Structure 1
């Protein structure tokens, strides 16, 4: 048997990053940037109000105290009116309204005010925004008894990003937050590494399509459905290619059909030592796929190689569902991340303390389905239940994989392990 690390290293050495593509901004989500993103416009793009209120000139309210100050007569946050014995209020005519989206280039004359909405552009000559709750809300004439310092509620042009700034560097993953920044900075398109397109094939004469009630001797093809979903959760474009019958010709025909469009192919089943292991027999004829026994539990029988004119990677995984999913996380996901331009091929693990203990097979790395949680803010894990390679209930209950090195034969409570959450959505909260 060969170590897990050797099999993974061989895979990573054989795959290559996709050619960068320029895509519209709305198609960049989930990709890795292949070039820096430079802001075409500043953020904010113009001086604008951060509050609903009234915009005035500083000179007209210079004598007024700040809200809640000793000369104001009212506590900040209440509707203000003049109070005898305090600073006299300022009353200004309201020239009109400025709403968000107003494209007029307005000028405020001394001794006047505009009613302004949050996000609306500041008129020339104005430098103070008085929140509406600190006024009498007048429509024709507004009464002001206090005012903040100039610039307090004003968002200045370019205070976040200046035009020409590099806002995101090459190698950054474009998530929702990065996508918002790219769009706001006026980018029309960006250069990214494309997400690999993956086809998942299930082999076996016993398999029937999902949504079918299986008869005696039949098994529903959950692997293709599961693996395609898992790879999509990991950030890739993956589909189930359906069931392939257990003959060499059927396997070769299915591979040939998908080689034209797929960037990677994943098969499950047909790679052990049985008389009907058609995947292994078919790919052995091509001479490009190597089959190994990997020192891991579950998932010992593994195969990998590249086929076709485009050297499409083919991952041959075991047929048992737990073995297939574990193998996908351990070998397929790192390879696809490398192909997609990720700076780190393997997802960053969480260091978590074990709450219960279990045995681990000698000289084989163990990947245990666990429940990852927090206790007093500390990551902790416990076994999710049965660890057999066919046990789907415990697999469904688990939210992470714990890695036990090959030299460890007993995991004790309190021991700290590397743990990888399942799925991008679960990685943040660790919940089901």
Structure 2
């Protein structure tokens, strides 16, 4: 049997990634809803539809600084205005003069009415006088105080915002599952909403395991590896919107690991461990959490998934509260890919967010790449929009295990289980990463 045939046979024993993800995500449920003050709701996902209790704008108001008037007075159809010669260079050859009978600001509240030939000086946001149907911008006038001369005539309705013009009372503002953005907070506040029912941000605890691990601030040496994973995964969880807590390093001590996980269930909606998911002599997480006790299977099931990099993943629950736990490989590149594939969708599902997976596009491949047989590969890549439409994707050097490639990537090139070679010029799937650059 050839090496390729051996690889394919081994891959056939692995669980397809789609099947594994489906089995895991079906076991998770969105967190119970929570009624939050509007100032605390940003970043969460709505658990209920939100309907406007009041109109916006709440009353007829000026949209610009200027003079609120009757359009028939400034258009020449009324009886009240006085016509005077226009300043040199003014289109039309004449101006209109109106008496200014008062000033209105945003804090004005007494109702007032326009009479023919009169107007009010108004600030943007001020309530409109009764009968006003136009606001003449300040710059179209001589800015008079007792009387004003108007050089240009706006269209009827210019500078006016009518009550409920943008959002009438009863309007559906947002559906359940919508992310609460700053702009949506403004919409809620403007229509009189002070509280909304949301899914709370999941509390995610990250634990790195391994006797070899040392904390950051030093270089690795034989027998010691700097813990990059717990820092990176804490940042990744926070980027999704979780409340992320880095516990730090846990040695390969069975009782210590069990005790640590039990303690963390009191403040976690999801626990992520990294390291020890394989079958080697030092892979204690798999041994400890999958161990049968009292004839029952362990709390966490470890599965060899058709995923590259990092085939060994674990999922289950721990503690009396049955808090979900995701176990990722120890290699930093494999841990970050495992987070994207498994932990990130789990966080999104707990938060009630849709869709749970990153958006993807089809892109024109710029370079021929090879991929392991039988494995679904996620490779760091740079995606760019093509002039005229569509996308191109450039695989980054070093393959999926390189941290520098992941740091530079704005997408993940996805090569399916049956793909061993993808030729330049072919069309491939790419997951789009959030990169604020």
TM over 0.5: yes
- How far apart, CA to CA, are the structure 2 residues paired with 1:337 and 1:393? 26
Instruction: Provide the residue aligned with 2:63 in structure 1.
Output: 50
Matches within 5 A, 1:11-410: 11-63=24-76, 81=87, 88-214=94-220, 216-285=222-291, 287-376=298-387, 377-387=389-399, 389=401, 391-410=402-421
- How far apart, CA to CA, are the structure 2 residues paired with 1:17 and 1:211? 38
- How far apart, CA to CA, are the structure 1 residues paired with 2:21 and 2:361? 20
Change (3 A) 1:139 1:72: closer
- How far apart, CA to CA, are the structure 2 residues paired with 1:412 and 1:72? 77
Contact 1:224/1:242, CA 8 A, preserved across alignment:
yes
- How far apart, CA to CA, are the structure 2 residues paired with 1:143 and 1:367? 69
Number of equivalenced pairs: 414
Change (3 A) 1:5 1:93: same
Contact 2:261/2:318, CA 8 A, preserved across alignment:
no
Change (3 A) 1:215 1:97: farther
- Aligned residues: CA RMSD: 2.4
Superposed CA deviations along residues 303-340 of structure 1, whole A, max 9, x for unmatched, are 11112222211111000011001011111111221221
The alignment partner of 2:330 has SS state of coil
Change (3 A) 1:27 1:148: same
- How far apart, CA to CA, are the structure 2 residues paired with 1:248 and 1:413? 49
Contact 1:47/1:156, CA 8 A, preserved across alignment:
yes
Unaligned runs of 5+ in 2: 1-13
Superposed CA deviations along residues 286-309 of structure 1, whole A, max 9, x for unmatched, are 612111111111011111111222
Cα deviation for residue 88 of structure 1 reads: 4.3
- How far apart, CA to CA, are the structure 2 residues paired with 1:86 and 1:414? 63
The alignment partner of 2:419 has SS state of coil
Cα deviation for residue 86 of structure 1 reads: 5.3
Cα deviation for residue 217 of structure 1 reads: 3.2
Unaligned runs of 5+ in 1: 66-70, 74-79
Identify which range, 235-244 or 327-336, moves more after superposition: 235-244
The alignment partner of 2:20 has SS state of helix
Is residue 2:38 matched to residue 1:7?
Answer: no
Contact 2:50/2:175, CA 8 A, preserved across alignment:
yes
Contact 2:300/2:314, CA 8 A, preserved across alignment:
yes
The alignment partner of 1:89 has SS state of strand
TM-score (norm 2): 0.89
